[in-house]
Amino acid sequence: MKKEIDTQKDKSTEEKIKKAAEKIFLERGFSASRTRDIADEAGINLALLNYYFRSKKNLYNIIMMEKLDVFFNIIIEELKDNAVDLNQKMSELINKYTDLLIKEPRLPLFIMSEIQQNPDFFTKRMNIKMKVREALGNKPIIYSKSQEDDLQLLLSLLGVTIFPFIIRHSIQGLFNMTTDQYNELLYKRREMIPKLMNELYNQLNADK
């Protein structure tokens, strides 16, 4: 019984540290974050943090991997689903990313910063290429007439969905918008984006 309680306590402490590290890393990035700040945020001493995670880099890699998993698995799961049509596929991607990024608004810049500094991180360590191939099999991404068109659609969809989160603070400042007002704007975009993507899809296929 004592061993079970100790195991639960260990897991609880690990999760507390990871939650604190996530907050600090997303706010400051890797270089500006200190393990002491993470320990303070978690309400523990520095020695205990080092006992569980050994180093700041190790803890950062764990958080980054988890965040990249969440971010990219949305796409992977949608690619796997061959039972839905284009409109439903796009709507589900838009809805899932909007919900995720309203909940975690710092996530896009956090991921972009890491990919820019370490472009091989998510392709090699996360094995994204293999995951995409497994998800697709021999299927096209969105069922257009060529892989290039599929990629144009996918990149356009991600761009119009995610970019507003990247520049949200600039837009809020420029138009004196509160966070709630901007979030409402983002929710309304969920109805607009599928229409834009359908126009692009129809144009790409009409040109063939």
DSSP one-letter code for 55:
S
**pTM beyond 0.85:** no
Give the C-alpha separation, 134 to 141, whole Å: 12
**For the segment 143-152, what is each residue's pLDDT rounded down to a tens digit?**
455 667 777 8
Residue 176 above 80 pLDDT?
A: yes
Reply yes or no on domain 1-54 having CATH 1.10.10.60. yes
**For the segment 11-58, what is each residue's pLDDT rounded down to a tens digit?**
889 999 999 999 999 999 888 999 999 999 999 999 999 999 999 999
Burial of 99 (0-12, 13-18, 19+ CB in 10 A): middle
Which of the pair, 56 or 84, is modelled with greater confidence? Answer: 56
What pLDDT does 79 receive? 72
Cα 112 to Cα 16, 21, 29, 33, 95: the distances in Å are: 25, 18, 11, 17, 21
* Domain residue spans of the chain: 1-54, 64-206
